[in-house]
Structure 1
Amino acid sequence: MAGQNCGVTTALLGVLLLGAVRLPRGAEASEIALPHGSGITVFIKPGTPPLPVKPCYIISSKRYKTSLTIKPGEKEVFSFSCHNPENHFVVEIQKNIDCMSGPCPFGEVQLQPSTSALPTLNRTFIWDVKAHKSIGLELQFAIPRLRQIGPGESCPDGVTHSISGRIDATAVKIGTFCSNGTVSRIKMQEGVKMALHLPWFHNRNVSGFSIANRSSIKRLCIIESVFEGEGSATLMSANYPDGFPEDELMTWQFVIPAHLRASVSFLHFNVSNCEKKEERVEYYIPGSTTNPEVFRLEDKQPGNMAGNFNLSLQGCDQDAQNPGILRLQFQVLVQHPQNESNKIYLVDLSNEQAMSLTIEPRPIKLSRKFVPGCFVCLESRTCSTNLTLTSGSKHKISFLCDNLTRLWMNAEKTISCTDHRYCHRRSHSLQVPGDILQLPVQLHDFSWKLLVPKDRLSLALVPTQKLQQHTQEKACNTSFSYLVASAVPGQDFYFGFFCPGGSIEQIQVKQNISVTLRTFAPSFRQEATRQGLTVSFIPFFKEEGVFTVTPDTKNKVYLRSPNWDRGLPSLTSVSWNISVPSNQVACLTFLKERTGVVCQTGRAFMIIQEQRSKVEEIFSLEDEVLPKPSFHHHSFWVNISNCSPSLHVVGLGFLTAWWPQHGQPSYTLTDPLPLRQKVQEVTRPLKGPSTGKSRRVKKKKGNWLLLIPDCHHHRGRGRWRLTAVCPRTHHLLCEKEEKEEKQRPTCRHLQWQHQHPDADAAKKVSERTKGQ
Structure 2
Amino acid sequence: MLAVTPDPNTNIIIIRKNNEPDCTVCMDTGPKQKCNLEFLRITDPRNTSVEFSCPQPQDIYDVEINREIDCTETSCSGNIVQTESSLFPDFNRTFTWDFKVVSTRAFQLDFPETGMKQISNEDACPDDHTYTVVTYLRSGPATIGTFCKGGPVTTILARYKGRVSLKVPADAKLNPVDFKVTVGPETNSKFILVAIVKVNLPRGVSNTDFITANYPNEFPDNQKTQWDFTVPGMHNYTVQFGDHTTPECLSGDVQVEYNKGGKKVTKLSLTDPQPQHQQGNFNMVLKNCETNRTLQGLSLKYRVSVMRSGHPVLCTVDLTKHQGVSLQVEKLTSDPNCELSINSKVEEKLNVAAGTKADLSFLDCPSQDVRLTASQVIACQNVASCSASVLTVPKLDSCLPMPLHSFSWHLNIPRDGTVDLVSPTGTLQQSVPGHRCNQPVLLHVAEEDGFSVGDFCFNGTIQKLQVHANVSITATAHNFSKTTGPLLNANFSQEIPETIIYRVSPGMLSPTVLATPNWPEGMKPSSTVSWIVNVPSQYQALVQFANVSQPKCLERHTAMIVKKLGYEEELMSRREDEEPEKQLLIPQSFYLNMSNCIPESGNFGAFVCTSIKLFFNWCHSLTRSYCSYSAYIFSNRKKRDDKKNKASSIYIGGESIFRPGDKHFTKSRPDNNSHVYASIDEMMVYGHLLNNSSYADSMQDHFTGIQVDSYNTFTGPTNGEMPVIKEPDHEPEMDQYKTFLAPSETFIPSRPRTPIDRQDSLGFQDRRMVDNELYTFKSTGEINTIRLSGADMEPQPPITEESL
Q: TM-score, normalised by structure 1?
A: 0.47
Q: TM-score, normalised by structure 2?
A: 0.45
Q: Which of the pair has more CA radius of gyration?
A: 2
